[in-house]
Chains A and B, each alone.
Chain A
Amino acid sequence: MAEMMKKATRQSYGEALVELAKTNPKVVVLDADLAHATQTIMFKEVCPERFFNAGIAENNMIGVAAGLSTCGYIPFASTFAMFAAGRSYDQVRNMLGYPHNNVKICATHAGISVGEDGATHQCNEDIALMRVIPGLVVMNPADDTEAKACIKAAVDYQGPVYIRLGRMACPIFNDPETYKFEMGKGVQLKEGTDVTIVATGLMVYEAIVAAEKLAEEGISAAVVNIHTIKSLDSEIIVKNAAKTGCVVTAEEHSIIGGLGSAVAEALAEGCPVPMVRLGVNDEFGHSGPAGALLKEFGLTADNIVAKAKEAIAKKK
């Protein structure tokens, strides 16, 4: 595949906020002393009067966002995924989820690809924590194009949203001119007959590459991009599982509670077929360059190929 333009989805977020600063006077942005990392600084630069720094106090930031939302504002609240979903779980559940307040949490630096900061900052559990909260939409975009579409959809949606964003630059494989995004609908990137690869976030591009490698070996892999983990598009997953007879999930998140679990739940009830979950196993990460960590933890196209073969073998 030709070399693609790359961009981190946190950068996409900053750019999307700059657009929103111009077009939506109800959008306000809050950060917890990470504006240069989350890229909310881009909003502050063009719209300082609607930017609020809560300092290193994430729980209060979520609460202030909740209060603002009751007065008609659309707050975007940002910090690292570890602190948004982890530290502030109670605030997200009780101040946003339960009252269904119209706050958009854009959590950056999710997953192992945080890299050098190590295990305390590599949140591999946020999808699990967020998707169990009733009424909270959970999205995990795969590239720049999709991240911007997620943010636009979040503004249009009345209610709380959690968007998972990354630190590392990722290939931009969706064409912004033609890409059609619908919240809660999976994207069929490739049809296949032997195995279905269901992926989310930065693993979607790896899944596309894996499908090409599998094709070279005569294996036909379907590829489904699940950008919205909740509400999950069970239909597209069941349909592909029925056609291919086995499923591999791929995510930069713990195999417990994330996409793999969500897909397993959908399949158990809708179309029980053999499946293999690829993600971070039940362990913490550690420091290192992001790319090297992704390889070490097996979050690569090559490993998706291996898992696809495992899944196919389970069919027999």
Chain B
Amino acid sequence: MNQADKKQLIAMATEIRKGAVEAVHSAKSGHPGGSLSASDILTYLYFKGMNIDPQDPKNPDRDRLVLSKGHVCPGYYSTLAHRGYFSTEELKGFRQIGYMLQGHPDMKKIPGVDFSAGSLGQGVSAACGMALAGKLDNKDYNVFAICGDGEIQEGQIWEAAMFAGAKKLDNLCVFVDNNNLQIDGTVEEVNSPYPIDAKFAAFNFHVITIDGHDFDQIEAAVEEFKTVSGKPTAIIAKTVKGKGVSFMENNVGWHGKAPNDEQYEIAMNDLNAILAEVK
């Protein structure tokens, strides 16, 4: 990736993070930590990796994305808004009565949302169904799913992984946002999912481990996925929960809490400093 493109993606990811923090601050509730850890993955997919058109969000030939860890929708909504599916003004109505941006993604209400999510562990199954439909229709679209590293404690994830491997869904790519934290502590403290890569490999996935904040690595992994035949791909993305906001980074307390006004100012200053550096 050339430097100009990379700078553009970093700037966009930072704007997306600002939108996510703004949404949570304005709602006085929501999930900032995981939104910030997944922002670079979302940015890459919606601004480079996926074949999508915000003006035609239901196009049957489009690539699809299922945000299985649906609670990190502040980052997702901010991505969709910045990509042009709807106005960034909508972010201020997040979680409010009379507005479309629900506390968890709603495919019926929100343009660009390919599948509803919220109850953890379910999204990879839906993504498998979409990938299977692509095979049946002889279409060449790809389906992406994003899971949390805590979320993969859910058994249904492994039912879906077994299915995807057994049915050779090579048009399916599962990202694991491996930020190492969940509500009650580190993933190891709570109930360790490690080794994550070996688990997916055992379910007949092609597995790639990357730094989930490095756009070169994200791009290389997605391009590699597109070349893999006969098996699904899992991209284990090592990330930092709360990435970009100093006091949220690697802090378990920021899973599902809104910043107060003072914290909001600090967060915006942190993110604006990144923007200034890139520009």
Q: Is B142 an interface residue (CB 8 A)?
A: no
Which bracket fits the contact residues of B?
A: 20 to 34
Chain A residues within 8 Å of B183, by CB = none
Residues of B within 8 A of A67 (CB): 66, 115, 125-133
Q: Are B162 and A57 in contact (CB under 8 A)?
A: yes
Task: Write out the residue numbers on chain A whose beta carbons fall within 8 Å of the beta carbon of B221.
Answer: none
Complex-state Cα separation, A303 to B273, whole angstroms: 79
Known contacts A57-B159, A95-B126; is-contact A68 B119 (Cβ 8 Å):
no
Interface of A is mostly: helix
The smallest C-beta distance from B110 to any residue of chain A, in angstroms, reads 11
Cβ contact within 8 Å between B160 and A63: yes
Whether, in the assembled complex, B47 has its beta carbon less than 8 Å from a beta carbon of chain A, the answer is no
Q: Is B114 an interface residue (CB 8 A)?
A: yes
Q: List 11 A-B contacts (CB under 8 A).
A: A57-B159, A63-B122, A63-B129, A64-B129, A67-B131, A67-B132, A70-B107, A70-B115, A91-B122, A91-B156, A94-B116
Q: How far is B129's CA from A67's CA once the two chains are assembled, in angstroms?
A: 4
Which B residues touch A134, using CB under 8 A? none
Q: How far is the CA of A96 from the CA of B162 in the complex (A)?
A: 22
A54 within 8 A of B: yes
Kindly state the separation between the CA atoms of A215 and B107 in the bound complex, as whole angstroms: 55
Point out the residues of chain A lying under 8 angstroms from B116, CB to CB: 94-95, 98-99
Chain B residues with CB under 8 Å of A71's CB are: 60, 129-130, 133-134, 137
A64–B136 touching, CB < 8 Å: no
A72 CB to closest chain B CB, in angstroms? 7
Residues of B with C-beta under 8 A to A261: none
- Report which of A52, A62, A72, A99 forms a contact with B167, defined as CB distance below 8 A: A52
Per the 8 Å Cβ criterion, residues 99-121 of B in contact with A are: 106-108, 114-116, 118-119
Give me the interface of A with B, judged by CB distance under 8 Å: 28, 49-50, 52, 54-55, 57, 59-60, 62-73, 75, 90-91, 94-95, 98-100
Max count, chain A CB within 10 A of own CB: residue among B107, B119, B126, B129: B129
Q: Contact: B107 with A63, CB < 8 Å?
A: no
Q: Please state if B130 and A60 are interface contacts (CB–CB under 8 Å).
A: no
Q: How far is the CB of A29 from chain B (nearest CB, A)?
A: 12
Given contacts A60-B156, A64-B132, A95-B116, contact A70 B60 (CB under 8 A): no
Residues of B216-246 at the interface with A, using a CB-CB cut-off of 8 Å, are: none
* Cβ-defined partner of B115 (8 Å) among A28, A59, A99: A99
Q: Chain B contacts of A70 at CB under 8 A?
A: 107, 114-115, 126, 129-130, 133
Q: Within the complex, what minimum Cβ distance (angstroms) separates B226 from chain A?
A: 20
A100 touching B108, Cβ below 8 Å: yes
Nearest CB of chain B from residue A88's CB, rounded to whole Å: 10
